[in-house]
Structure 1
Amino acid sequence: MKTGPASSRPTSSIIGLAVPIWIGQLAAIANPVVDTAMVSRYSVTDLGALAVAASVYISVYVALNGVMQSLAPTFGQLFGAGKFPEMGKEAKQGVWLAIFLSIIGSLLLSFPQPLFSIAKASPEMTEKATLYLRILAFSLPASLNFLVYNTLNNAMARPKMVMAIQVTGLLLKIPLNTLFIFGGWGIPAFGGPGCAIATFIIVWLELLIGWLILRYNPFYRILHLFGTGFAWPNWKSLKELLSLGIPVGLNYFIEVTSFTFMALFIARIGVNAVAGHQIVANFSGVLYMLPLSLASATSTLVAQSIGGRRLEIARKISFAGIRLSAILAIIVACAVWLGKDWIISLYTSNETVAANAAPLFLFLCSLLFFDAIQVTASYVLRAYKVVLAPTLLYVMTLWCIGLGCGYMFAFNFFPDYIPPRITGSSGFWFSNCVSLVILSVGMIIIMRKTEKKAEVQFQASLQKQDTAVK
């Protein structure tokens, strides 16, 4: 049985792969952070519009991103099995998948009024949020196609170039935001929608760079991406990707909309409440990149081990990934709690907005540990191509408990029984904490059962082979 570095040193292998993924993801998530920080200095109305519009965009993008993530375990297992030309074929189908999904997503972003009606935002906020989303509708094809390049590189344990492209995009974001938000050089001040114009320019540039690397870097010749003729959609392959990707996309959608609808409902409380929530939710996204990068690295190494039929090593890697994520989550939570006032000051100088954001940091620090466990376990399950059970668990916890109970707490359905400190925005955050505790326990149980089942099936297949030989 062949073993690689991940078998003898799983923790160091995860860290080595996760660090560039983490830096790249930080660069990607820093884009909306920069948007929030810069728009907050333009006007509170634009910040509120950005909060509502960003919530809608993230819901659409993350759901489609989740469907695209069906490529990750597919690429990983093929790479572990040494089937490189098959990876190239799947990558071409991934491009078609991105094209089809971008058509659906762009239509949803162009007509967001039904979702805006939930927030009951002012006409000015609605107008700015609509313009923001319609600009991003034209950037979605580039964003989804870049995911093909991203997942392909991560599956081959080569995330550094993806990291470099994403960092370059971040460096361009600040000057472009400054130009389009505040105006200059004959360009009018667009306010919040100016962020979308900057994003549009950056994502198409990133896609172009990714394509050039695949085309001219000799390393990728083993995939036979070019010179083999035009590849039409393979409906069988696309169906297989969708059968895996749609549940993953639902996972992403459920996870993000648990925050999206929080923002839309909190907008009913007032612009300062939703602005305070946006700051904490935005920073939560930054923190989430660490366990997400560890989960992605763990999933990649697990998928490679499964493809190479090294299931015992896959189990060791999954345990090491969860342990590492949990330890780092505790360290990060302590650091965030100690520096919460400084963090808020980075986002806003408005005392009212800051006062609305401060109480939410207690809940943010409380949920980090359980969030790290659940995301790593869910990514391990994706490496095994197990997606339906996690999706049902997400529905029951994040939607039914987190969002449903959170709504009752926030708007104080039972004033005699609900403490004042968990009403308003805090009600949603408290309920979300409870849901993540249950979710993390459920994910671990499903993961352990999946690993045992895979090992039993593998042993059974070996016995059949021995019988056939005899």
Structure 2
Amino acid sequence: MKKATTIRKKLYVFLSILFPILITQLGLYSMNFLDTTMSGHVNPNDLAGVAIGSSLWVPVYTGLSGILLAVTPIVAQLIGANKKNEVPNIVIQGIYIGIVISILVIIIGYFTLDPILNNMGLDYPVQKIAKGYLIALSFGIFPLFFYAVIRCFVDALSFTKVTMFITLTSLPINFLLNYLFIFGKWGVPQLGGVGAGVASALTYWCIALIAIIIVIKQVPFKNFNLFSTFYKISFQIWFDLLKIGVPIGLAIFFETSIFAAVTLFMSQYNTITIASHQAAMNFASFLYMLPLSISMALTIVVGQEVGARQYNAARQYSRIGITMALLLSIISATFIYLFRHEVASIYTTDSRVLSLTKDFLIYAIFFQLSDAIAAPIQGTLRGYKDVNVTFFMALVSYWVIGLPLGYILAQYTELSAFGYWVGLIAGLAAGAIGLAVRLRMIQNNTPLTSD
């Protein structure tokens, strides 16, 4: 990362790192977006089935891949401290952890998937599609976690354009595979929502293969010789990674799982409500890629500055990121309000689903401000390797405040299904306030340095 001595130069450096991350995140999320939208054009049952499957898979994946995010601040601080020789072993140990996680997910899923789906009270077609979608997706778990580690390594070096290239290359592959397996084209059997899982799994293998070629062949990654030396399992490095990664993963899991829990609670309503809720949530989550990308960029720049003991620069980058996220949230909220009919029509042509999705999107507007504060601060704190308090705040704000409040409003007021969304908004707001206080404490306890 280039050293910047003025706010204007720091803004340029930050944007040069942020923009590729944003494109990458939008691209990765587009796979889930394509799964949902393309399945919805087959049948409402396929849309609902993929919605339920995604609601179970997304918190598991994001939470466990969050553990692997520990690679980013550790490598970033090593680069900032000019300890590049220690980087390869960190990355390889991260891959080992990713392999173990993949095996555990498959084993646990084998024994728990049927009991979970059976107890949800779903219509049989929806349950069948959800199960098939998840089974198909499971064949792509290993390459997905492998790529997560490689991406953390590449991004920590500030070469975020590389992961952007990988993602943009994989998108047309995913679209084509979705087209083939969902709709049954060119002699391929029509699998509906299950085909979306097949397409995603195959795409994950393509992403992993492209990443391997790049880190082996391209400068500066090949200079680290990641795969030329055999590294034994180091439980000390595993401990260092897990000490940072587990709180990150748990914080992400608590945040994403509350959305999944709400979707599962929605199973008490009819298929139209489930499909409408998922469509609106899918789009709100798509817009969340903006503050999330800023968060990931802040982890990189703050991590490198903290590693170099340039604490004043770390403060300045955090202000740049949070301000930018707030401005973008205002734009996002305005867009949702003005174009909610057009957004809803992306997901469905069913008039009942379309009308209800528009109502859910009104509530999605209020997600924007809280996300714009919370996500960048989380990224900044990760750059400082401060993760334990963030995990605790996520638990309290989402599961102690957000979900119980949403349940009460949904069950005992006229808000009905919308009550869960009000609870989510309250949880997000509480988390944003707590994180802001924590960041202020951390920065007040670090010395100012001249750049």
TM-score w.r.t. the length of structure 2 is 0.96
Q: Distance in 2 between matches of 1:154 and 1:320?
A: 19
CA distance in 2 between partners of 1:337 and 1:106 (Å): 41
Matching residue of 2:434: 442
Partner in structure 2 of residue 128 of structure 1: 129
**Which range is displaced more, 303-312 or 354-363?**
354-363
Q: CA deviation at 1:114?
A: 3.5
Which residue in the other structure is 1:389 paired with? 389
Alpha-carbon distance change, 194 to 391 in structure 1, aligned in 2, over 3 angstroms: same
Aligned equivalents of 1:256, 1:315: Cα separation in 2: 28
Counterpart code for 1:296: M
CA shift at 1:13, angstroms? 2.2
The 1:294–1:445 alpha-carbon spacing in structure 2 relative to 1, beyond 3 Å, is same
1:339 aligns with 2:331: no
Q: Tell me if 1:329 matches 2:321.
A: no
Q: What is residue 218 of structure 1 aligned with on the other side? A: 219
Find out whether 1:249 has 2:249 as its counterpart.
Answer: yes
Does 2:365 match 1:373? no
Listed as ranges, the gaps of 5+ residues in structure 1 are: 413-417, 460-470
2:444 to 449, 452, 465: 452
Q: Is the 8 A contact 2:154 2:221 kept in 1?
A: no
Distance in 2 between residues matched to 1:351 and 1:445, nearest whole Å? 45
Q: CA deviation at 1:441?
A: 1.2
Partner of 1:60: 60
Residue in structure 1 matched with residue 33 of structure 2 by the alignment: 33
Kindly indicate whether residue 141 of structure 2 is the aligned counterpart of residue 159 of structure 1: no
Aligned to 2:198: 197
| 8 A Cα contact 2:336 2:362, kept in partner | no
The aligned counterpart of 2:3 is 4
User: Is residue 2:419 matched to residue 1:427?
Assistant: yes
1:52·1:116 contact (CA, 8 Å) conserved in 2?
Answer: no
Contact persistence 1:269–1:424 (CA under 8 A): no
Task: Name the SS for the 2:402 alignment partner.
Answer: helix
Q: Aligned partners of 1:178 and 1:30: how far apart in 2?
A: 14
CA distance in 1, matches of 2:416, 2:158: 44
Counterpart contact for 1:61–1:105, Cα < 8 Å: no
CA drift of 1:351 comes to 1.0
CA distance in 1, matches of 2:185, 2:403: 42
Preserved CA contact (<8 Å) 1:374 1:439: yes
Superposition pairs of residues 213-292 of structure 1, within 5 angstroms = 213-227=214-228, 229-292=229-292
Offset at residue 7 of structure 1 (A): 5.2
| Partners of 1:7 and 1:235 in 2: CA distance | 42
> Structure 2 CA distance, aligned partners of 1:397 and 1:438?
5
CA distance in 2, matches of 1:171, 1:266: 33
- The answer to whether the 8 Å contact 1:146/1:210 transfers is yes
Inter-partner Cα distance in structure 2 for 1:324 and 1:293: 11
Q: What are the residue-to-residue correspondences of 1:100-119 with 2, within 5 Å?
A: 100-110=100-110, 111-119=112-120
> What are the superposed Cα offsets for residues 195-243 of structure 1, whole Å, 9 maximum, x if unpaired?
111111111111011111111113124323243x311211100111111
1:466 equivalent in structure 2: none
Judging changes above 3 Å, is the alpha-carbon distance between structure 1 residues 209 and 6 closer, same or farther for their aligned structure 2 residues?
farther
Distance apart, 1:453 and its partner CA: 2.0
Q: Secondary structure at the match of 2:268?
A: coil
Q: Distance in 1 between matches of 2:139 and 2:262?
A: 27
Q: Distance in 1 between matches of 2:267 and 2:318?
A: 40
Kindly report the root-mean-square deviation, in angstroms, between the aligned alpha carbons of the 2 structures: 1.8
Cα deviation digits, residues 112-141 of structure 1 (max 9, x gap):
234324531122222221121112112111
Q: Structure 2: how far apart are the matches of 1:114 and 1:378?
A: 35
Once residues 84 and 118 of structure 1 are traced to their aligned partners in structure 2, the CA distance between those partners, rounded to angstroms, is 51
Aligned residues: 448
Equivalent residue for 1:22?
22
Gaps in structure 2 of 5+ consecutive residues? none
Task: Report deviation, 1:331.
Answer: 1.4
8 Å contact from structure 2 (residues 121, 267) kept in 1: yes
1:79-133 CA-partner distances (Å, limit 9, x unpaired): 1112112111111111101101111122233342343245311222222211211
Contact 2:4 2:10 in 1 (8 A): yes
Residue 405 of structure 1: how far off its partner (Å): 1.0
Deviations 1:395-418 (A, max 9, x none): 111112211110111122xxxxx3
The aligned residue for residue 138 of structure 2 is 137
- Bigger radius of gyration: 1
Any idea what SS the aligned residue of 1:297 has?
helix
Question: TM-score by structure 1 length?
Answer: 0.92
User: Residues 363-410 of structure 1, C-alpha deviation per residue, up to 9 Å, x if partnerless?
Assistant: 211120111110110111111111111111111111122111101111
CA offset at residue 188 of structure 1? 1.5
